[in-house]
Amino acid sequence: MEAGLQDRLYREPSTAPAGIVHLGLGAFFRAHGAIYIAEAMKVSGGNWGVVGVSLQSSGTRDKLRPQGWAYTALELAPDGEKPQVVTVLRDVLVAPENPQAVLDAMALPDVKIVSLTVTEKGYCHEPSTGRLNRGHPDIIHDLASPLPKSAPGFLVRALAARKAAGLPPFTVLCCDNLPENGRVVRGVVLELAGLIDADLADWIATQGAFPSTMVDRIVPATTAADLDRLQALTGDRDEAPVMHEPFRQWVIEDDFVGAARPDLASVGAQLVGDVTPFEHMKLRMLNGTHSALAYLGYLAGYETIADTVADPAFSAFVKVLWRGEIIPALIPPPDVDLAAYADALHARYSNPAIRHRTWQIAMDGSQKLPQRILGTIAEHRAAGRDVPGLTLAAAAWMRYASGRDERGGLIEVKDPLAPRLAALWQDDPAQTVAGFLALTEVFPPTLRDDAQFADDLIAALQKLVQSGAQASVEGVVDA
Ligand code: CS2
């Protein structure tokens, strides 16, 4: 069976040398950036093969190696599934096995771009401020050792190697869901570099480029059932396919080191002067409601986003969030109608072919809430306005992070702060809220000191505990 995948690979061989090293070889990059890059090379050529780097485990490398680094991306449309073999990867490295090999790959003259999808927590920053968390164990390690563990550590040490070799820096292309993600990574990298070598920090600041990007495609985790279904569809056994919706968007700040870059505009990416309005729109309208639906939907007993929005109360709730709370605090990007964007999101969430688990999206709430939900709340609160829907979502995160669901069952909470969050849960909602609001890495000072917001959170949490998520959601819709 494996031969089938290999056959298709050999029919369209691509031998372009690697011009990109990608850190964080998860499903998202393989279903988004990798496909854009592969298509751009088909249209316009260029040496943009990708060396993928797994920063944690060897699982993806071990599955992809016997397939010659090729894999299937399966598009899940409401009316059918469409497989495509992606052959843009040239090699996969596993950082903990050999960090020097990763640094060597990043320091090759052909490499012009280092892109990243390492998730929010991978930047070792403080989510509420965007600054480097100098107490992070990986940062402490990376300051002491030339063989890094963290993504910022790899960027800094590889840039140092390039400077020493007289090479220009690579462009750092952050593709994670952080606000002004290029600026956040630049700040973290410059702070870390400055702690190692002030000249290096100057060189990066003047010669480097950290374009901000907005990335969008819904990519649910691949399941064992997906592998079997794909095999039935194509006849090939692929051990590492990725699943994705038809929609995709990539907005990139036009700020690279030199002129060399894949021709991403030829395949639909938008190269713009200012990504900020696109990022705010996407982080708050998509990711913000994703997280709200994830916590409340999970607590109400729903397994996926599609299941959650199939409930009329939740469907009405997410529209209240968009219309009543999120859109009024946004500046639309040029030529974008935010109401139409919301309608399109609703249709994407309702796609029954996408089984995107509420549990998957609920992960890492402490890293996600600031840019997804708390920014909108803070802006409304500064103008003295109440924000009942998003406040309920924030309270649902606290309830979820307690580790107990509405029926007393255990929740497997995945979050770098999980043990601390669970310990904040008290029988008295006022005490729970006070404990959470004291998390300086999550809540901005304006919200921490806002007595009305605290009272609203307490009321929302009380209602969640007494009446449950379903009734709480209905309460916001009916208000
Ligand atoms: C989701 C995102 O898991 C999550 O937190 O909100 O992965 C989301 O599906 C993507 O950002 C969509 O572009």
Taking only the tens place, the pLDDT of each residue in 194-221 is 999 999 999 999 999 999 999 999 999 9
pLDDT at 393 over 70: yes
pLDDT at 12 over 70: no
What's the confidence (pLDDT) of residue 129? Answer: 87
| Cβ burial 325-353 (10 Å sphere, 16+ → b, else e) | bbbebbeebeeeebeebbeebeebbebeb
- Determine the average pLDDT of the residues in 73-95: 95
**Range in 13-27, 252-266, 442-456 the model is least confident about:** 13-27
- Determine the average pLDDT of the residues in 464-474: 98
State the complex-level ipTM. 0.99
Say how many Å lie between the CA of residue 296 and the centre of ligand 1.
Answer: 16
Tell me the per-residue pLDDT of 156-170, one tens digit each, with 9 for 90 and over. 999 999 999 999 999
Residue 11: pLDDT band (50, 70, 90) is: very low
Q: Which residue out of 247, 278, 283, 290 has the highest number of ligand 1 atoms within 8 Å of its CB and is therefore the one to mutate?
A: 290
Say how many Å lie between the CA of residue 165 and the centre of ligand 1.
Answer: 38
Please identify, by atom number, the ligand 1 atom nearest to the C-alpha of residue 287: 6
Say how many Å lie between the CA of residue 95 and the centre of ligand 1.
Answer: 25
Q: Is the CB of 287 under 6 A from ligand 1?
A: yes
* Collapsed DSSP state (helix, strand, coil) of residue 56: coil
* Residues with Cβ within 8 Å of residue 129, at least 6 apart in sequence: 441
- Determine the average pLDDT of the residues in 117-138: 94
Residue 14: pLDDT band (50, 70, 90) is: low
What's the confidence (pLDDT) of residue 161? Answer: 98
Say how many Å lie between the CA of residue 242 and the centre of ligand 1.
Answer: 15
CA 271/CA 414 separation, integer angstroms? 35
Average pLDDT, the chain: 95
What are residue 23's DSSP bridge partners?
53, 116
pLDDT at 1 over 80: no
Q: Is the CB of 249 under 6 A from ligand 1?
A: no
Question: What single-letter DSSP state applies at residue 12?
Answer: S
What's the confidence (pLDDT) of residue 128? Answer: 85
Say how many Å lie between the CA of residue 256 and the centre of ligand 1.
Answer: 26
* Residues with Cβ within 8 Å of residue 16, at least 6 apart in sequence: 41, 46, 47, 48, 49, 90
Say how many Å lie between the CA of residue 219 and the centre of ligand 1.
Answer: 7
What are residue 49's DSSP bridge partners?
18
Residue of the CA atom closest to atom 11 of ligand 1: 216
Tell me the per-residue pLDDT of 294-340, one tens digit each, with 9 for 90 and over. 999 999 999 999 999 999 999 999 999 999 999 999 999 999 999 99
Q: Residue type at 201?
A: A
Q: Is the CB of 290 under 6 A from ligand 1?
A: yes
Bigger pLDDT: 429 vs 7: 429
93 near 104, Cβ under 8 Å? no
Tell me the pairing of strands 71-77 and 242-244. parallel
Tell me the per-residue pLDDT of 16-68, one tens digit each, with 9 for 90 and over. 689 999 999 999 999 999 999 999 999 999 999 999 999 999 999 999 999 99
What's the confidence (pLDDT) of residue 2? Answer: 43
pLDDT at 117 over 90: yes
Kindly state the percentage of the chain with pLDDT values over 70.
97
CA 393/CA 385 separation, integer angstroms? 17
What's the confidence (pLDDT) of residue 13? Answer: 46
| Cβ burial 290-302 (10 Å sphere, 16+ → b, else e) | bbbbbbbbbbbbb
Nearest to 64 by CA among 82, 85, 40, 35: 85
Q: Is the CB of 218 under 6 A from ligand 1?
A: yes
Nearest to 256 by CA among 212, 214, 213, 209: 209
Bigger pLDDT: 147 vs 1: 147
What's the confidence (pLDDT) of residue 9? Answer: 41
What's the confidence (pLDDT) of residue 4? Answer: 54
Residue of the CA atom closest to atom 5 of ligand 1: 361
What are residue 73's DSSP bridge partners?
84, 242
Q: Is the CB of 216 under 6 A from ligand 1?
A: yes
* Collapsed DSSP state (helix, strand, coil) of residue 132: strand
**Range in 38-42, 392-396, 418-422 the model is least confident about:** 38-42
Residue of the CA atom closest to atom 9 of ligand 1: 218
pLDDT at 240 over 80: yes
What's the confidence (pLDDT) of residue 15? Answer: 66
- Determine the average pLDDT of the residues in 332-361: 97
